[in-house]
Structure 1
Amino acid sequence: MFNFNEDNFRKVTKGAVGLRGQIEEIGEKLTARGYKNLFLIGSGGSIAIMYPFEYMIKTTSTLPVYAEIAAEFVLYDHKQFGPDSLVILSSLSGTTKETVEAAKFCKDKGATTIGLVGELGTPLADLTDYTLVNYSENDTASDSIYLQLYLLIFKLLAARGEFPEYARFADELEAMPEVLLDVKRATEGPAEAFVNKYKDETYHMLIGSGSVWGETYSYAMCVLEEMQWIRTKSVHAAEFFHGTLELVERDTSMILMTGEDESRPLMERVERFARKYTDKLSIFDTKEYELKGISDQFRKYLSPLIIASLFERVSVQLEAQRNHPLSTRRYYRTVEY
């Protein structure tokens, strides 16, 4: 694959699922101690990765769950948050200012915290009560964090008696490094063709729903806008028909990120509309991938990970064909703000 290190990808993703023992031990300790609710906190791409799990918990469990943007969370008095809350925070660098401040805030309030980072000795790693560490670069970060969160979240649900299939699910997650490589290989050609066709496009609409909504929001903001400086609108499929549809014209680029959970009919509705009114429709559908070794009942949970992993191949092509490195920034961590 173009500009891709398969050995490094295997190392990172196997490292993530290799934390299973540690994660299960943490889950058992937390369950024995008890907690009343769960807060998922992050900034930018890190909060976007939390949104799918908020959705999955809401559709699988009675556990109260709140996905919160770090910078906002510390400024308002969330009445459900307190010393008996469990908090999961994520920052690959472990230095994201807003997330570190949120971790300090949670510690001061007496809540129990779990941090997901790429390196020990970083501010977030030093602040959290439990820390999961798996080194990763940006191109493998989402795969790594997703795999850790699947193990952690579903272990917590299993301990509540709400996900009895956990052991089999966790076993199948161990096959995900190779499954994701198959996904990337299958996406290589379509990604190159998509970027070759749309590399000069100045505006995209990205549509998603359910557990994939977080990735839709993230790819629009953190990749197309931040890393490629392309004007982009991310919109939830359930809300598309309440405003955004009026901007669709024949030359409007619409990108659909379609998963396999309960919200899929919302995406199918948008697709039917788009086929009538734009000539620039692109669909990336997780249902088109085999996912060898993964049970049908688990596919809906894995949709956001599949979307994130396949769009990494789109990003690589964007960087190359637009001659715009993904690392180029004008403002982010470059100027004071």
Structure 2
Amino acid sequence: MLKFDRELFVQALNEGALGKRGELERVVDEISGKGFSNIFLIGSGGTVAMMYPFEYIFKSYSALPVRAEIAAELLVTDNRQLTSKSVCIFASVTGTTKETVAAAQFCREKGATTIGLVGIPGTPLAEAVDYAITFGREKHAFDVFYLQLQILTTRFLQQNGEFPQYEQFAAELAALPQGMVAAMEEFDARAEAFAIKHRETDYHMLVGAGNLWGNTYSYAMCILEEMQWIKSKSIHAAEFFHGTLELVEKDTSVILFKGEDATRPLVERVERFAENITKELFIIDTKDYALPGISEEFRKLVDLNVNWALTSRISAYLERERNHPLEIRRYYRKMEY
């Protein structure tokens, strides 16, 4: 596969997330033992998008008050729910995202308990939080963060008496990296064909819901817009029929992210509509991939990992076909704004 090191990928997830299970559990157990009133999942850009699936999972399983927040917005609003009894979880690959670091400092000043998932130790975010979970690399950081957040989320649920399956789920996560690799290998030819066909396409609609809404938003914003300078729109499947449907034409690129949680029928409704209008419908369905070692009841908790891994294959081929390295920026971190 183009620009993919299977051993490095599996090693990153095993060392950065699965190998951190004990540390993550100790953090959750200590915080739960002291008691807390609510949880804030805080990030900027791609990292706040990363938090949306876990807000959704908490809402699906728990009575705990949990909310995903954009770091910069949190800083300028007087959120009365943020108190010394809050738990605030942050993520940053580099540990230097200004808004996220400032939000961590802000929450800590409020007396909240802060947890930071950070690629690089010794960076500002790692220094700003009460508990820093670091793994020493940037490569595959989002894949690592997803696994870390799954352990944190389900451990909080277990400690709150809402996820008795935790031990089984956490044990099964050990099989996920290999399952993701197998899915990527199976999807790779489709990813390459998509990139070749759409190398000049200047606009894409991306549709998702539930666990995959964060990925939908993130792929449109972070990959297509920021890293490839392609105009895109992320649309929640539940809202697609309130405006956006009128823009679909026979050559409109519509990309559907189909997951396995309760919102799947919402995406299928968009699929039924789009397949009758556009000839450029592309569907990424996590249900198409076997994931050996993952129980059926847990697939809806890991579809986000699989979806993100699959989209990374599209990114690799878009970079090649468009001769546009993913690292190039015109404005982001290039100028003051």
The yes-or-no answer on 1:22 pairing with 2:31 is no
The yes-or-no answer on 1:141 pairing with 2:138 is no
In structure 1, runs of 5+ residues without a counterpart are none
CA contact (8 A) 2:121 2:135 kept: no
C-alpha separation between the residues in 1 aligned to 2:135 and 2:174?
15
- CA deviations on 1:237-293 (whole Å, 9 max, x unpaired) are 000000000100001000001100000000000000001111110000000010111
Cα offset, 1:136, TM superposition: 3.2
The yes-or-no answer on 1:239 pairing with 2:239 is yes
Q: Where does 1:232-311 land on structure 2 (aligned, <5 Å)?
A: 232-311=232-311
Cα offset, 1:80, TM superposition: 1.1
CA contact (8 A) 1:41 1:88 kept: yes
The residue identity in structure 2 corresponding to 1:17 is L
Structure 1 range deviating more: 171-180 or 157-166: 171-180
The percentage of aligned residue pairs carrying the same residue is 54
Structure 1 range deviating more: 245-254 or 3-12: 3-12
C-alpha separation between the residues in 2 aligned to 1:273 and 1:115?
42
The yes-or-no answer on 1:92 pairing with 2:70 is no
CA contact (8 A) 1:208 1:267 kept: yes
Cα offset, 1:303, TM superposition: 1.3
| Structure 1 consecutive aligned stretches of length 4 or more whose deviation exceeds 4 Å | none
Cα offset, 1:179, TM superposition: 1.1
C-alpha separation between the residues in 1 aligned to 2:89 and 2:175?
25
C-alpha separation between the residues in 2 aligned to 1:50 and 1:27?
17
The residue identity in structure 1 corresponding to 2:104 is A
Secondary structure, in 3 states, of the residue corresponding to 2:227? coil
C-alpha separation between the residues in 2 aligned to 1:5 and 1:135?
18
C-alpha separation between the residues in 1 aligned to 2:187 and 2:311?
8
Cα offset, 1:79, TM superposition: 1.5
C-alpha separation between the residues in 2 aligned to 1:63 and 1:190?
40
Q: Residue in 2 aligned with 1:44?
A: 45
C-alpha separation between the residues in 2 aligned to 1:196 and 1:292?
31
Cα offset, 1:9, TM superposition: 0.8
CA contact (8 A) 1:136 1:144 kept: no
C-alpha separation between the residues in 1 aligned to 2:183 and 2:291?
8
Per the normalisation by structure 2, the TM-score is 0.99
Structure 1 range deviating more: 86-95 or 1-10: 1-10
Cα offset, 1:183, TM superposition: 1.4
Secondary structure, in 3 states, of the residue corresponding to 1:88? strand
CA contact (8 A) 2:225 2:231 kept: yes
Secondary structure, in 3 states, of the residue corresponding to 1:187? helix
Secondary structure, in 3 states, of the residue corresponding to 2:192? helix
The residue identity in structure 2 corresponding to 1:95 is T
CA contact (8 A) 1:13 1:177 kept: yes
Q: Where does 1:65-104 land on structure 2 (aligned, <5 Å)?
A: 65-104=66-105
Cα offset, 1:205, TM superposition: 0.3
RMSD: 0.7
C-alpha separation between the residues in 1 aligned to 2:69 and 2:282?
31
Q: Where does 1:188-207 land on structure 2 (aligned, <5 Å)?
A: 188-207=188-207
CA contact (8 A) 2:94 2:138 kept: no
